[in-house]
Amino acid sequence: MTNALPVGATIGILGGGQLGRMLAVAASRLGLKVHIFEPGANPPAGDVAHRLTTASYDDHAALTAFGQSVDVITYEFENIPTSALDLLETLAPIHPGRQALATSQDRLTEKTFLQGLGLQTAHFANVPDMAALEAALATIGAPAILKTRRMGYDGKGQARIKAADDAPRAFVDMAGAPAILEGFVNFSLEVSVIGARGQDGAVACYDPGENVHEDGILRTTTVPARLTASQRTDAVLIAARILNALDYVGVMGVELFVTPQGLIVNEIAPRVHNSGHWTQNGCTICQFEQHIRAVAGWPLGDGSRHADVTMENLIGGDMDKLADYAKTDAAIHLYGKDEVKPGRKMGHVNRIFRA
Ligand code: AMP
């Protein structure tokens, strides 16, 4: 393990949400410490981290102290301000690297990159203004989806266009943000591959999971997904191609639409991913440990699946049913968030179907 961080080293994590929390738990199991940087008060990751810095991403003194206190930096969300990264990268290595972040922060860059790799995406066009939207609709056709180029997640910053006369309303919904128009993909299934790449270039992908969304938010992920053997292989090869092209280090989520024309890449997330939470109870090495291993320069672990699993998110009022979940044999994972809000991810449960 040349270049591997020794036990006792510190991993800095930008973002203190549930993903940071589960990364911190995995790191501590490996004898590594975690320092969380998070602007918000009482972050879920703060409960389980060795250190917590509460400061904003434009607080240079706080960022500098954070960067000096860690051996490597990673992150749990992709919309980190560029100025913060410029400063931090002078203090410690950042994994996954800047190219992966820049690619996934902007839907236009992302789709252009994916097409450049020979992968299929939805038809898309850049929409800087209303005239461009009309031109894009004339080429791509309706139905279509207008999405902000940046800062979109869980279906936010998106407007469906069922027919051309929906265009002005959809454009207003973008609130002046640069956008792209995507042709509507008629998919039979949504699946995702959670892939990892180590510092030595080794790639390991988990079995693809089948995702069901409600109101734009992930509801369940089920493994195995209803894919043919060749679709499953194709999905994993697509993820590996993306990981290698970005010279990636860490775990990535690759969301795919399954269509009769093949697999279409929806988006990539340069981090551990909600649709990979099933690995906590379905694999020996879960996505969180895999990510920590990669960024720490350790060898990747074996991500093979030893059970069929359904992961169900506990969203908002689902927490009222916690006592019922606790009576079942489902594995419960809660994020320690103080306040229940509609649409807020509070935890998840993993149900194992075959040991
Ligand atoms: P996104 O934020 O891009 O992941 O989109 C959230 C969800 O909206 C996806 O998981 C799909 O269910 C749906 N969606 C996004 N883009 C498209 C598209 N081009 N065609 C059909 N459905 C889409």
pLDDT tens digits, 97-109: 999 999 999 999 9
**Same domain assignment for residues 175 and 195:** no
Q: Tokens in use for 59? A: 């607080």
In this structure, how many other beta carbons lie within 10 angstroms of the beta carbon of residue 68?
Answer: 10
- Nearest atom (ligand 1) to Cα of 152: 2
* Contact present, 308 and 335 (Cβ < 8 Å): no
pLDDT (0 to 100) of residue 154: 60
CATH code assigned at 221: 3.30.470.20
**Same domain assignment for residues 127 and 230:** no
Q: Does some domain include residue 77?
A: yes
Quickly state the pLDDT bin for 313 (edges 50, 70, 90). very high
- The answer, yes or no, to whether any atom of ligand 1 lies below 6 A from the CB of 182, is yes
Give the list of residues 6+ apart from residue 346 with CB closer than 8 angstroms, or none.
314, 315, 316, 318, 319, 334, 335, 337, 340
Q: Does some domain include residue 109?
A: no
Q: Tokens in use for 175? A: 């609130």
Mean pLDDT of 222-242: 98
**Same domain assignment for residues 166 and 282:** no
Q: How many domains does the chain have?
A: 3
- Nearest atom (ligand 1) to Cα of 211: 10
**Same domain assignment for residues 144 and 279:** no
**Same domain assignment for residues 197 and 345:** yes
Q: Does some domain include residue 237?
A: yes
- Nearest atom (ligand 1) to Cα of 182: 19
Range of the domain at 315: 189-353
* Contact present, 304 and 283 (Cβ < 8 Å): yes
pLDDT tens per residue across span 190-215: 999 999 999 999 999 999 999 999 98
**Same domain assignment for residues 253 and 345:** yes
Please name the residue ranges forming H helices in the chain. 18-29, 60-68, 82-88, 98-105, 107-116, 130-140, 167-173, 229-245, 279-282, 287-295, 322-327
- The answer, yes or no, to whether any atom of ligand 1 lies below 6 A from the CB of 159, is no
Distance from the alpha carbon of residue 266 to the mean position of ligand 1, in angstroms: 7
pLDDT (0 to 100) of residue 1: 61
CA distance 258 to 186: 9
The protein residue whose alpha carbon is closest to atom 5 in ligand 1 is 155
Q: Does some domain include residue 4?
A: no
- The answer, yes or no, to whether any atom of ligand 1 lies below 6 A from the CB of 156, is no
Mean pLDDT of 74-86: 94
**Same domain assignment for residues 163 and 193:** no
Distance from the alpha carbon of residue 351 to the mean position of ligand 1, in angstroms: 26
DSSP at 81 = -
Beta bridge partners of 179: 127, 148
pLDDT tens per residue across span 138-192: 999 999 999 999 986 666 789 999 988 888 898 888 988 899 999 999 999 999 9
Rounded alpha-carbon distances, angstroms, from residue 311 to 119, 211, 294, 350, 351: 28, 9, 24, 4, 6
**Same domain assignment for residues 247 and 286:** yes
CA distance 216 to 222: 17
CATH code assigned at 141: 3.30.1490.20
Task: Point out the domain boundary residue: 76, 94, 112.
Answer: 94
**Same domain assignment for residues 207 and 155:** no
* Contact present, 34 and 28 (Cβ < 8 Å): yes
Rounded alpha-carbon distances, angstroms, from residue 214 to 135, 170, 197, 218, 320: 31, 21, 31, 6, 19
pTM of the model: 0.95
Q: Does some domain include residue 322?
A: yes
Q: Does some domain include residue 116?
A: no
Residue to mutate, 127, 266, 313, ligand 1, most ligand atoms under 8 Å from C-beta: 266
Q: Which residue has the higher pLDDT, 165 or 272?
A: 272
**Same domain assignment for residues 300 and 327:** yes
Rounded alpha-carbon distances, angstroms, from residue 349 to 278, 311, 319, 337, 352: 9, 6, 11, 16, 10
CATH code assigned at 77: 3.40.50.20
CA distance 326 to 43: 24
Q: Is 9 helix (H, G, I), strand (E, B) or coil?
A: coil
**Same domain assignment for residues 193 and 324:** yes
Q: Does some domain include residue 110?
A: no
**Same domain assignment for residues 193 and 147:** no
Q: Does some domain include residue 1?
A: no
Q: Please state the φ and ψ torsions of residue 211, each to the nearest 5 degrees.
A: -110, 140
- Nearest atom (ligand 1) to Cα of 183: 19
